A = this chain, B = another copy of it.
């Protein structure tokens, strides 16, 4: 089945708004084993919309149209769809009542131009939008079924999951249930992960599809499954999921919607602990990652950020070691823990190369972790320029803390470090 994505709107066409909707829709289709065949972007203008609908109607089996369902005069999707289908626009009374209710609950009266959002091509299939005033709809043009969705990302995503994907799977003769299982890891590159996992028994049958999304320093490993029912899905996915988890081992940071940060805060919470941080070169990036998490306030005790070792140590009130070493990181972590009253302390020290930024530029990362019972350290050299070293040091610091909290070894080498 050939599926196309047609994104509309002047803001998207001219690059003013970055078209994140396209990528989201395409990735979800591919994850479910559906095929994206063509993408089109046109502006809010009738001749372009007409031409784009006509071309896709000849080429595709299904077209996801995104945008153009708003209340203003430049939102043309319903109108051009009706014209292309050769039918009038008719009022969808129930949707009009829903829009009026939407405003009434906010103590407001619906502006008259929102009525336009309840005008659908005659005979169109209504597609519900539970969180907005732009409903979706579907019509057949030429050989293709056209599905219309609003441009607001939150509304589009919800309608894609709940309404469009089941219809597309059914249309493609791929009924049943689907799931996307995700593993987030740090330390294994995409090509090595592919080597490590692609011969897992069961994958060759194709019902479970392995994929990767690399966003340095993390790698996302995805298992997309489709099955006739929930029981078959479990039977197919279970053994493969367990094997992926086993092979990636301690490098798995988190699964599905969890994150490295949420796993750390959950483990700290479970231990009744609190955290103190000292950062050099990463410049607050570790603190900032944790602080963004809901509930971080109660677990994150305090942080110290400094660009150089002497200033960092002055902030903590200890004499500065002569160099960035694992021993220095241990000393900083211990002093930080003692001074802050936190149960856990993490110190990330970096000795950057001299000279200007380049691909070869790197730094030595020394990480110290202190608890009531133990002090552990980790040393690694990262290269590939300042941004990569900074991001890698941030991730490695957080990952060492996760490993300590979960009782895993903190010194397993990662693919990104120079040995």
Contacts and interface: CB of A to CB of B under 8 A. Distances in A.
A87 interface: no
Given A287-B305, A296-B283, A305-B302, A38 B41 contact: yes
Contacts of A43: 37
Interface in A296-315: 296-298, 300-308, 311-312, 314-315
Contacts of A55: 55
A157 to B, nearest CB: 13
A26 interface: yes
Nearest to A286: B284
Interface residues of A, number: 62
Given A306-B302, A314-B302, A15 B24 contact: yes
A302 B279 CA distance: 10
Interface in A147-179: none
A374 B335 CA distance: 34
Interface string A376-395: 00000000000100100000
Contact of A303 (B26, B304, B308, B390): B304
Nearest to A290: B283
Interface string A1-44: 00000010000011110111011111100100000111111110
A60 to B, nearest CB: 12
A37 B27 CA distance: 26
A308 B291 CA distance: 11
A265 B112 CA distance: 51
Given A22-B15, A30-B15, A315 B304 contact: yes
Given A22-B41, A292-B390, 12 more contacts: A13-B39, A15-B26, A16-B213, A19-B22, A37-B48, A277-B305, A283-B288, A283-B290, A283-B303, A304-B304, A304-B305, A315-B340
20 contacts: A14-B26, A15-B36, A19-B19, A22-B41, A37-B43, A38-B40, A39-B40, A283-B287, A283-B290, A283-B291, A283-B296, A285-B291, A288-B288, A291-B307, A294-B357, A296-B307, A302-B304, A302-B312, A304-B315, A314-B340
